[in-house]
Structure formats: C-alpha cells, structure tokens
Amino acid sequence: MTINHHPSDETLLRHAAGTLGAGPAVVIAAHLEGCETCRRRVSEFESLGGAILEGMPLEPLRVDALARALERLDLPSLSPRPETIVVRQRHPVGLELPSSLHHCDVGPWRWLGPGFRWSKVSLPGNSDAKVLLLKGRAGLKLPAHGHDGTEFLQVLSGSLFDERGRYYPGDLDEADTDVDHQPVVSSDSECICLVALEGDTRLHSALGRLLWPIVGF
C-alpha cells in the first residue's frame, strides 16, 4: 500500500508531545499503524523532545504527581510504537477497525442522507471528542463545507477525491480553516473514513445544514 498523503509535521510534533486532542490523536494513531514514514518522524520528534528535557533544570514534583501518573497508566495508549504488532478486529459496522479504536465505543451505522451513513465513535474519558466513521456510496458527492478548526480524515477503505487530490486507504487528509471543498467518493466502490474534528464544520448547502445536526456536533 502506497501512502501519498500524510499529517503535517506540526501535527506529528503535537502527537509526539502529547498535546494533540484525544479525537485527532485517535485518527493520527490509525494513520501511524500503516505508515512507517510517519512513525519514523514521530520517533525523531520524541528523541528531540527527550534531548530537550535532559537539558532542562530539575523542578520539584507536584504533590499529586504519583496519583496522576498512576491514573494515566489506566488509560489505553493512542500512539502505537513502531514495533507494535497491529491486531485488527471486525466490528458490527462491517469493517476491520484500526487498533486505536479497540477501546472505543463504535456505534452502528445511521442514516445521514441518501447513500450516506455515519457511526459515532465515543472515546473513554473524552466525551467531548468529535470522532465518527463516515460511509458513502460510490459516486456520492459529500456536502460542500469548510472548517472552523482542522478536520482529520483517514481513509479506511475505498477512495475519494477533491480539487486537492485523490485519497486511498492509508491516506490522511488534514483540512484546516483555509480549505473549502466538496469531496466525491470514487465511482468504483463505497468509501469509509475515520474522521476527527477540531472545531465545527461550516456546511454551505441548505440540505447539508439540515442533515448535519443529526450527527450531534
């Protein structure tokens, strides 16, 4: 599988530093499972961060430092290491899920429009995260939209395209506030994507604005 679209260095740096939001981190982790190039890049950023920490003066620990560390140990990791053996599992939505979703609650497919379905992904301990699976039939034009934040979209199966390029399984599209587009599902098969949103989606059509509240965010 050839991957042609990757997260930006800024996003990978945020992921390595642990400052990326929980929703986007799940999508980036799904991308890292199949992208050796980005895994190496994250490792480089982590090594750089370690070197910076070693050069910093020591600071006294917070009183609750141990309790906070033990609490974090109970949370599933969203960032697979390069040596991790990726085990995928099937889900009732009918596809093999990335391992970054194994600890998430993935709902059933729900109607969003003609030929368009969605499934809510709930992250443990992060009820505000905006994560979902989208499925479109072959040839479907998704609603034209822009973004108040960044949309992270990982193609899991099938393909889609817009004026910026074509996206196949393993590709990640990072669409920020400068992007206004109308993705189209390729005509040969349906397309399933994992999506996380920072901020809101600006829908340009009346029908899109009518349907999107069904998703709930």
State pLDDT tens for residues 103-139. 999 999 999 989 999 999 999 999 899 999 999 999 9
pLDDT digits (tens, 9 = 90+) for 33-91: 999 999 999 999 999 855 454 455 656 767 676 677 666 655 544 444 444 334 445 56
CATH number of 1-217: 2.60.120.10
Provide the whole-model pTM. Answer: 0.80
Give the residue with greater pLDDT, 30 vs 62. Answer: 30
Q: 5: which residues sit within 8 A by CB, 6+ positions away? A: 165, 167, 171, 172, 173
Give how far the C-alpha of residue 79 lies from the chain's centroid of Cα atoms, to the nearest Å.
12
pLDDT digits (tens, 9 = 90+) for 165-201: 999 999 999 999 999 999 999 999 999 999 999 988 8
- CA 31-101-13 angle, 5° bins: 40
Domain boundaries, the chain: 1-217
pLDDT at position 33: 96
